Structure 1
Amino acid sequence: MGLATYLCDEAGPAYKPNESLEKSLEKLVALPLTDVLYVRLDWRDMQSRPGRLDPCEHWKIAFDLARQYGKRIGFRIQLMSPVIKPQSMPDFLLDKVPLYELGTTDEVGKNLPGKVHYAPQYNHPAFMAALQEMDGLLADAYDGSAQVEFMDTYMYGFWGEGHTWPFEDRNPFPDYATGAATFNRIFDMQSAHWNKTPLATNTQPDYNRVGNAELVDRTIRSHNWLRTDTIFIENMQIESLSNRPPWVAGFVENALSDGTAQNLGVSEGVTRNDNIIAHARDVGPNYFSLWNWHKIQAERLMSYYDRYPDAIDELSTRIGYRVRPSWIWAFEKDGSPGLVLGLANDGVAGVPGALRISIKSERGQTLSEGSLDPGYPLPGKVRQALFNLPRGTTLEGLRMYAQIEVKGVRHPVNWACHQKTEKDGALVVRRNI
């Protein structure tokens, strides 16, 4: 969880004149603000021939740097994007999969006036077979990897994936049923391949009538996660994110300005970036993007942060879940001791999975353990958990560990408490009143 620094978007990776790609990416990875990294690529960046993956250079550099700096990566593989020429899908599919012309637009970006926008026929057998193969290869390499935080769900997107704005009434399918069935089939395929790594589904409304609402519902029911590519534009997305179940993580993406005078957007003393951050905080996110849209560069992020650090700093201390035992009560029953923990959450979001607590002896023997209901403790609330311990256990010096279990995989959790924890993450029980 935390602040997600973008290394690459649909316009390409970070770039600075007269600087190597590796150096530009490393400066982003090394930012103290960075908790998680995010990479957005096109299918053709991952595969140039059937039967194997051959990732682009910035994908490989990103994973090498993430390993070096101890940070995890979330990513999206786009099946369609208006910024890519000739298409997001690899060349070996271009003469096999028909393209549907959505129309001509100036709305994609300042550098793409008069863009003729095409969508692939997603339900074409050649497209579906190749996608299943590529996604399977990708999952074989990265599902459950300690380096991967999440993967975005493949979708037909109004924003983000596809960027089909402003063609809200058009799609490459003959009818709604075909479009919805196609993307439900793709979701089934992706869910089967990625059974350890969370999938993040966009909450964008179903303007294009391809079944997006059903994908959001299925995402929640399968304990996967949600994301948005805008915090301002559609009220339906705010409703979905704000009222998601507490065990579902939420990712808020919104481009930030670089702090130059023409991009500050000050209103009543508040910059546009700080306004974005305040609205993001209101929906209780687990992740928030640090991203200069189509102009990714560490210096651009820092040029704003160096002058206006407060909103970003405040969000960085509250984003996601921040769990601590606010109370530790000791008791004895039938001659055996026990502990009751009153677990508090100082973050703005629920726990995106099940919080698991282990109580161990000073020698590392597990004495008692168990999990809370998924999502708990809730922000600003206390959830109690009782642990019975073996007869004769000395309470002082016991070591408490926390993990989060997501899709059957457990990850260590750092206690968000005043008391200093041990190097292995343990919180040592001691009497303080």
Structure 2
Amino acid sequence: MKAFYTLVILITGFLQLSAQNNALNEFHKSFTLDSVSHLRNPAMGWVLYEEGASFLEEHKNYDPEIFWEEMDEVDAANYANILYIRVLWKVMEPEEGKYAWEFNKEYQEYIRKAEERGLKLAFRIFFDNGTPDWVYQAGAKSTLEQPLNLDNDKQPYYDDPVFLEKLQNFIKALAEEYDDPSRVDFVDAYGLGRWGEGHGVTLKDQDNYKNVIEKVTNAYARYFKNILTVYNLSRNDWHYSKPLVFDKLGFLPRRDGIGSHWFDDTERAYLKELFPDKALIGEGTYWFGARDKDTTAHTKEPFLKDPRFPNMKYWTDALSVALDDALSSHSNTFDLRTPFESKVWIEKLPEKVQKFTTYGGYRLYPDSIVVKQDNRKLIIDHFWKNFGVGVLPNNHPNWNNKYKVAFALLDPKTQKVAHTFIDPIANPGKWLKGPLYSYTNFKHEIPKSIEAGKYDLVVSIIDNTTGKVGIKLSVKESQLIKNWGFIKKYSID
């Protein structure tokens, strides 16, 4: 008799478990990778360059209007995500407290056209032959003291207290205008030395080197709280920048020498120490302007004697080598650069342009999703991949892991979000090319405040500071609704 009751209990438990499993309707959804489309996601992709010449009076044959005319001839903005503005301090603040973004109509129009074309901005303010005269008139010393308007190889002493005081005031003003991630991707948070790359930093006292790096980078970190801050990776100051800038402040590395021997084995080893914790903002070494009309000519250019890449004979070789080097270095960005160089890339090397579009930076997508549903109760297993060589810099202090994997219910008629819920475990900033990232048994119950009815269950990566989709998924457009990946029709009783 006892055995009979035991059998009844076992059968009853089995039937209850079967009923529970039946109640949890299971649905499998697979997504199709889109490896071709141009994705306009933050801190990645092709970059157009303003080299600073447009705003200098001595370069009137090359101005902002010509820049956009020539870029538009090859639709360069349709391939790029960012306009990188390398510009001298004296252009941005020719008089103390008088800023280009407030009074310079040429500059304002230049920026307007970039934003009109859907480009984010990025900045490097540098001082090599470009510190405003009023800074020197206030008492700052330079490598060429008099006359003040003599700009022949003139650099400030970066440890001069007047220079540092005026620079920090400018950084504060720059942040007040541009610390906006809806407009700006990143700022080079240093800019000292030759071309702003940290080479040949002129100091009155070499013992002040560490202090200068701290003061300038700390000023950028103090005033820029929302956009990414980056710093040039260099063997010259690595012993300072590693602990003070990359570790303490969390800045991203930027390297301007990709595709050449200037980016040497030592610096490549430094980069390996930083990646994948920190995304690389990359730039090629060898570039040209409209003067180099024949890119197939065997010209006497510096890349001909590059000891690291000895087989470069033509400009197209140099560009191709640099792109492959950028990909092997896990770079998030690379440069179409100036108008004529962009034209060469797009017209003569279209397969290389597509290669970086496909693999450069990050390309995130859900591989598959399994949903178990019992009315308002959900259990979700979701699986993700990154098809790109780079990484989403989600852990930068100013982003603070704001990009989250989120599911939502959309009203199928209005396509508006009725309810959003985030998986707190999944972090897209940790996804690298290759592995499948699995998140299982994520449970969520739709609150009773959500009315019964029919919805579209969807998934995406949202910016948690805005609640909106922040990263466009790399899946076929037919599988998206308002940049949300469609999973299934969802009914609530």
TM-score range, shorter chain: 0.7 to 0.9
Whether the aligned pair in 2 keeps the contact of 1:53 and 1:134 (CA below 8 Å) is no
Q: Which residue of 2 aligns with 1:326?
A: 367
Given that residues 119 and 172 in structure 1 are in contact (C-alpha distance below 8 angstroms), is that contact kept between their aligned partners in structure 2?
A: no
2-side partners of 1:370 and 1:42: how far apart?
Answer: 44
Question: 1:247 Cα shift?
Answer: 4.4
Task: Render the CA deviation track for 1:168-226: whole Å, top value 9, x for unaligned.
Answer: xx7323233x11112201111110000111111000111xxxx4542244443333311
- Write the deviation string for residues 344-387 of structure 1: whole angstroms up to 9, x where unpaired: 00000122103412211122222421353462212212222343
**Equivalents in 2 of 1:412, 1:61: separation in Å?**
27
Q: Which amino acid aligns with 1:132?
A: Q
Partner of 1:110: none
Q: Give the alignment of 1:53-92 within 5 angstroms.
A: 53-55=99-101, 56=104, 59-78=107-126, 80-81=127-128, 87-92=129-134
Matched, 1:273 2:319: yes
What residue number does 1:45 align with?
A: 91
Are 2:421 and 1:368 aligned?
yes
Question: When the two structures are superposed, what TM-score results if normalisation uses the length of structure 2?
Answer: 0.71
Letter in structure 1 aligned against 2:254: R
Does residue 377 in structure 1 map to residue 407 in structure 2?
Answer: no
Please name the residue that 2:22 is paired with: none
The answer to whether the 8 Å contact 1:202/1:227 transfers is: yes
Over 3 Å counting, the alpha-carbon distance change for 1:405 and 1:212 in structure 2 is: farther
1:41–1:76 contact (8 Å) kept in structure 2: yes
- Contact 2:51-2:87 at 8 Å conserved across structures: yes
Task: Name stretches of at least 5 consecutive residues in structure 2 with no aligned partner.
Answer: 1-43, 146-150, 305-310, 395-400, 412-416
- The structure 1 segments of at least 4 consecutive aligned residues displaced by more than 4 Å after TM superposition are 10-20, 55-58, 263-270, 332-335, 391-396, 408-411
> Cα distance 1:273–1:344, how it changes in 2: closer, same or farther (>3 A)?
same
TM-score scaled by structure 1? 0.80
| Structure 1 residue 172 corresponds to structure 2 residue 203 | yes
Comparing 8-17 and 226-235, the one that deviates more: 8-17
Match among 467, 476, 480 for residue 418 of structure 1: 476
**Match for residue 235 of structure 2 among 190, 205, 208:** 205
Partners of 2:359 and 2:198 in 1: how far apart? 31
Structure 1 residue 161 and structure 2 residue 196: aligned? yes
Aligned pair partner of 1:36 in 82, 100, 109: 82
Deviations 1:20-46 (A, max 9, x none): 632422542641322211110011011
**Rounded Cα–Cα distance in structure 1 between residues aligned with 2:332 and 2:218:** 25
Alignment match, 1:106: none
Deviation of residue 290 (structure 1)?
1.7
Give the letter for the 2:404 counterpart: R
Deviation string 1:308-342 (CA, Å, 9 cap, x unpaired) is 22222211111111111112122369993221111
Q: Does 1:151 align with 2:187?
A: yes
The residue number in structure 2 matching 1:122 is 158
Q: Which residue of 2 aligns with 1:307?
A: 348
Task: Please give the per-residue CA displacement for 1:268-308, whole angstroms capped at 9, x wherever unaligned.
Answer: 998121111111110101101122xxxx3x24421343122
Bigger radius of gyration among the two: 2
Match of 1:283 among 314, 329, 332: 329
1:9-66 C-alpha deviation (Å, 9 max, x unpaired): 1544699997863242254264132221111001101112223423455532332012
Larger displacement relative to structure 2 (416-425 or 135-144): 416-425
Structure-2 separation of matches of 1:144 and 1:156? 24
Amino acid at match of 1:241: L
Q: What CA distance in whole angstroms lies between the structure 2 residues aligned with 1:268 and 1:136?
A: 46
Note closer, same or farther for the CA distance 1:423–1:44 as it changes in structure 2 (3 Å cut).
Answer: farther
How far has the Cα of 1:228 moved from its partner?
Answer: 0.7
Instruction: Give the 3 Å change call, closer, same or farther, for CA 244–384 of structure 1 in structure 2.
Output: same
Instruction: Name the amino acid aligned to 2:112.
Output: D
Gaps of 5+ in 1: 82-86, 103-114
Correspondence for 1:389: 444
Hey, what does 2:172 align to over in structure 1? 136
Task: For 2:62 and 2:213, locate their aligned partners in 1 and report how far apart those are by CA, in whole Å.
Answer: 41
Question: Matched residues in 2 for 1:360 and 1:405: separation?
Answer: 13
Paired position in structure 1 for 2:221 = 191
Normalized per residue, which structure has more helix?
2
- Separation in 2, partners of 1:411, 1:244: 28
Name the % identity.
17
- In structure 2, the CA distance between the partners of 1:422 and 1:57, relative to structure 1 (3 Å rule), is same
* Residue 107 (structure 1) aligns with: none
Partner of 1:238: 268
* 2:283 is aligned with 1:253: yes
Correspondence 1:25 to 2:64: no
Paired residue for 2:51?
A: 9
Q: Give the corresponding residue for 1:349.
A: 390
**In 2: Cα distance, 1:284 partner to 1:245 partner:** 8
In structure 1, distance between residues paired with 2:173 and 2:239? 28
Matched, 1:229 2:256: yes
SS at match of 1:389: strand
**Residue 186 to residue 300, structure 1, CA distance change in 2 (3 Å):** closer
SS of residue in 1 equivalent to 2:324: helix
- Is the CA contact 1:187–1:215 (under 8 Å) kept in the aligned structure 2? no
Which residue of the other structure, out of 459, 472, 475, is the alignment partner of 1:400? 459
Tell me the SS of whatever aligns to 1:366.
strand
Give the AA of the match of 1:196. Answer: N
Q: For 1:219 and 1:181, how far apart are their aligned partners in 2?
A: 12
Distance in 1 (CA, whole Å) between partners of 2:105 and 2:158 is 27
Contact 2:367 2:385 in 1 (8 A): yes
Counterpart secondary structure, 1:253: strand
Q: State the AA in 1 paired with 2:432.
A: L
Aligned to 1:99, the other structure's residue is in SS state: coil
Measured in 2, the distance between the counterparts of 1:205 and 1:18 equals 37
Deviations 1:212-268 (A, max 9, x none): 542244443333311111022122322233442434221111133562423596649
- Asked if the contact 2:459/2:486 (under 8 Å) is kept, the reply is yes
Identify which of structures 1 and 2 has the higher relative contact order when contacts are C-alpha pairs closer than 8 Å and 6+ apart: 2
Q: CA deviation at 1:163?
A: 7.1
Query: How has the CA–CA distance of structure 1 residues 36 and 218 changed in structure 2, closer, same or farther, with 3 Å as cutoff?
Result: same
Q: Which amino acid aligns with 1:349?
A: G
Q: Equivalent residue of 1:196, what SS?
A: coil
Q: Is the 8 A contact 1:202 1:228 kept in 2?
A: yes
